[in-house]
């Protein structure tokens, strides 16, 4: 017996020594590349699909090999393992194998920049540092699961081919700690502080874990028990927690938009940086994250059949929550998509209310409307050029365009009413004499000139960045103001000119000249209106 124990002890040492000596050195790029060559499960494959199909980790001959050990050592290790297992020393063989391979995996996680941190350490990190770590976690997790662990599974199958039970145990004991390190970090992020700035990053984590969950199912399926291993249950729990965190962060984003008040008015009425920030957020959600966000809502709805107060607040109250669990997956997904659309609509509605409030900071009412037009037009353009157009729909776009037209009408009234009041008939036709009429006319045309010059000086400094809308606004001004000026001069120009050689100091500008001057409006460069040179062709 002592001779057998001594012999097995030497085999165990040789087994470990061969493992250490023949471990292949891998750099970061090679590890990441390995995930692209993996034969693991497809990203969108369901857990049921994974559990029902036969899993094969044999590599396609056309794929470049990711050897974890030098190939010539595998046969020697298999022979030693078979001998130890036959002699009843399978436990010692497994311990030797797992000890070496765990150390190798730990070193490769370090190469990928993945640190072993406690939940408390993660939650105490500054956001920028945590965000950087998450950005490393996402590709590293994919590379480890689809690349390294897939190869570890294949290696176990090669070395312990004589015992299905031992190869499963060795793989589990080797790789479980590595996966749990990733999942513990995900859990720490999921239970962390809810914040609008975390939304997209946490959603990226949710997407990644959701994508590799089928691969984890395939790797860690406990066929003897007919159920998934603890690793898979843990992954499902973290995935649910990340989904809940996404919803919480979406709530915080909406709250932040609703409550944001700290800003300085933009002097030329341009698009608010806050509008750009929110709409870019919404655009990314709709273009790149809509399906993940829908899955978050759908999974959350399955977990919380009656919905939480948070979800009700964010995604609208359902009339019949009690019947939710009876619905099939298609109906639930349709409802979830509708709820996501409502949440994005609510977000943009909050933004528009915020802009309405901020517009009141401007003392000039005309600038209030220019600010609103610029910002709402920007919102509409972002919606039309992204997946948001399908989420919010044509009718929503049409209503917003109507709102822009309404603001344009208010702008014309606020900016040009005083100018137009100088061109009315009131007090002219019913004067007591020609001298009185001429006096009123001179006063009217002087006031018109002064008002127009003042508006020109102010509104050339304002900015309407969209060229088509800028032109449409100028045309509206021309129709309303220049046409009124032309009509005024046709009716009363001759009376003003009868004033003699000084008539030109009253009729300073021809309609054509003023219409050309409108081309300078909303360009963001303040200008002064100069007297037209040459004769006035009125």
Can you give the pLDDT at residue 318?
Answer: 34
Q: Which residues of the chain have pLDDT under 70?
A: 1, 34-66, 222-228, 262-263, 300-337, 427-434, 497-504, 531-538
Can you give the pLDDT at residue 222?
Answer: 60
Instruction: Scan for tokens 């219409």, then name that residue.
Output: 515
Can you give the pLDDT at residue 6?
Answer: 84
Measured CA to CA, the distance from residue 281 to residue 69 in angstroms comes to 46
Can you give the pLDDT at residue 288?
Answer: 83
For domain 2-239, give the CATH number: 1.20.1280.170
Question: Per the structure block, which two tokens stand in for 378?
Answer: 């920007």
Can you give the pLDDT at residue 435?
Answer: 72
b/e for 277-299, b at 16 or more Cβ within 10 A?
Answer: ebbebbbbbbebbbebbbbbbbb
Can you give the pLDDT at residue 425?
Answer: 80
Can you give the pLDDT at residue 353?
Answer: 92
Can you give the pLDDT at residue 2?
Answer: 80
DSSP calls for 13-24: HHHHHHHHHTBP
Helical (H) or strand (E) element with 221: strand 221-222
Measured CA to CA, the distance from residue 97 to residue 20 in angstroms comes to 10
Can you give the pLDDT at residue 331?
Answer: 55
Q: Tell me if domain 2-239 and domain 422-520 are identical in fold.
A: yes
Domain covering 422-520: architecture: Up-down Bundle (1.20)
Question: Per the structure block, which two tokens stand in for 284?
Answer: 């990314």
Q: What is the pTM of this model?
A: 0.76
Task: Compute how many other C-beta atoms are within 10 angstroms of the C-beta atom of residue 87.
Answer: 15
Domain ranges, ordered by start, for the chain: 2-239, 260-408, 422-520
Number of residues that make up the chain: 538
């Amino acid at each position: 017996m002592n001779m057998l124990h001594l012999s097995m002890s030497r085999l165990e040492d040789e087994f470990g020594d061969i493992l250490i000596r023949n471990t292949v050195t891998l750099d970061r790029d090679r590890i990441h590349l390995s995930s692209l060559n993996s034969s693991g499960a497809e990203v969108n494959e369901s857990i049921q699909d994974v559990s029902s199909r036969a899993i094969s980790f044999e590599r396609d001959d056309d794929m470049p090999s990711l050897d974890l050990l030098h190939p010539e050592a595998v046969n020697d290790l298999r022979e030693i393992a078979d001998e130890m297992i036959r002699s009843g020393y399978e436990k010692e063989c497994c311990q030797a194998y797992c000890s070496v391979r765990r150390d190798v995996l730990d070193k490769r996680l370090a190469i990928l920049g993945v640190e072993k941190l406690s939940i408390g350490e993660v939650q105490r990190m500054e956001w920028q540092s945590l965000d950087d770590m998450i950005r490393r976690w996402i590709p590293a997790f994919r590379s480890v699961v689809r690349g390294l662990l897939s190869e570890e599974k294949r290696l176990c199958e090669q070395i312990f081919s004589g015992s299905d039970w031992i190869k499963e145990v060795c793989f589990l004991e080797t790789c479980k700690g590595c996966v749990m390190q990733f999942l513990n970090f995900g859990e720490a992020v999921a239970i962390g502080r809810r914040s609008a700035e975390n939304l997209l990053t946490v959603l990226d984590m949710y997407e990644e874990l959701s994508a590799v969950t089928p691969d984890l199912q395939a790797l860690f399926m406990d066929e003897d028990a007919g159920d998934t291993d603890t690793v898979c249950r843990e992954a499902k729990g973290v995935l649910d927690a990340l989904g809940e965190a996404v919803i919480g962060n979406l709530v915080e984003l909406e709250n932040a938009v609703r409550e944001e008040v700290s800003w300085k008015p933009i002097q030329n009425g341009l698009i608010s940086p806050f509008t750009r920030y929110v709409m870019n957020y919404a655009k990314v959600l709709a273009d790149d994250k809509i399906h993940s966000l829908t899955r978050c809502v759908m999974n959350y709805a399955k977990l919380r059949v009656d919905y939480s107060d948070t979800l009700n607040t964010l995604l609208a109250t359902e009339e019949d929550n009690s019947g939710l669990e009876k619905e099939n997956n298609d109906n639930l997904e349709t409802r979830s998509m509708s709820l996501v659309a409502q949440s994005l609509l609510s977000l943009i509605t909050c933004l528009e209310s915020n802009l309405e409030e901020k517009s009141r900071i401007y003392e000039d009412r005309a600038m209030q409307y220019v600010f609103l037009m610029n910002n709402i037009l920007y919102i509409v353009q972002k919606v039309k050029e992204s997946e948001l157009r399908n989420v919010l729909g044509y009718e929503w776009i049409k209503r917003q365009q109507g709102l822009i037209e309404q603001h344009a009408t208010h702008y014309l009234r606020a900016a040009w009413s005083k100018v137009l009041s100088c061109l009315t008939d009131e007090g002219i036709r019913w004067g007591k004499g020609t001298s009185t009429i001429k006096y009123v006319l001179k006063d009217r045309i002087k006031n018109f000139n002064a008002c127009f010059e003042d508006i020109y000086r102010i509104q050339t400094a304002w900015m309407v960045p969209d060229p088509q809308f800028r032109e449409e606004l100028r045309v509206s001004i021309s129709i309303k103001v220049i046409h009124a000026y032309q009509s005024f001069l046709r009716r009363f120009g001759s009376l003003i000119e009868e004033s003699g050689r000084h008539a030109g100091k009253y009729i300073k500008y021809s309609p054509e000249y003023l219409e050309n001057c409108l081309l300078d409006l909303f360009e963001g460069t303040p200008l002064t209106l100069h007297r037209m040179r040459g004769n006035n062709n009125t």
